[in-house]
């Protein structure tokens, strides 16, 4: 989790530098009196916005739909509880039964194959919870209007 957060911040910093350094260098090279440096508020908005491409301004919605935000956070919680239920009901019993027996390769392979489908379901739930629900909830709270996450 910490590593993914660090990678996201590095990618955002790279995008910020890539968009702003050429602009500053061209204004210094032209010796123009105005150097457009982004404000701190623009950078902070970019850090929380669900995008990796820095722009000075993003399209914004006029209002925040709090019911939509609550629905998305409820879907995140529901996804987490459902993933927990799948894990407890389908994955843990497989490995609990195998831990009481002596080690054999056949039993280990059967446990792994019996856990593939629940693992894939949990993976889909995590992707749905984060990429769809969590990012859409924060996009709504930030009034971020460009919601083309899947394109």
Q: In this predicted model, what pLDDT tens digit does every residue of 24-44 receive, in sequence order?
A: 888 777 776 677 788 899 999
- Contacts with 119 (C-beta within 8 Å, 6 or more apart), sequence order: 91
Residue 89 to residues 39, 49, 92, 116, 124: CA-CA distances in angstroms?
Answer: 51, 37, 7, 14, 17
Phi, psi of 6 (to 5 degrees): -65, -40
Per residue in 41-77, pLDDT (tens digit) is: 999 989 888 888 898 888 888 999 999 999 999 999 9
Can you tell me which residue has the tokens 């194959």?
113
Domain boundaries, the chain: 1-57, 59-150
């Amino acid at each position: 989790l910490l590593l993914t957060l660090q990678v996201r911040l590095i990618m955002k910093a790279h995008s910020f530098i890539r968009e702003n350094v050429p602009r500053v260098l061209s204004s210094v090279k032209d010796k123009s009196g105005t150097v457009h440096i982004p404000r701190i508020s623009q950078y902070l908005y970019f850090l929380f916005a669900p995008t990796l491409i820095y722009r000075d301004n993003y399209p914004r919605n006029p209002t925040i739909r709090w019911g939509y935000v609550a629905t998305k956070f409820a879907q995140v919680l529901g996804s987490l509880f459902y993933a927990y239920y799948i894990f407890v009901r389908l994955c843990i019993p497989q490995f609990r039964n195998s831990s009481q027996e002596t080690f054999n390769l056949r039993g280990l392979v059967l446990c792994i194959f019996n856990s593939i489908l629940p693992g894939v379901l949990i993976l889909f739930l995590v992707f749905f919870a984060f990429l769809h629900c969590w990012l859409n909830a924060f996009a709504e709270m930030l009034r971020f209007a460009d919601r083309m996450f899947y394109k």
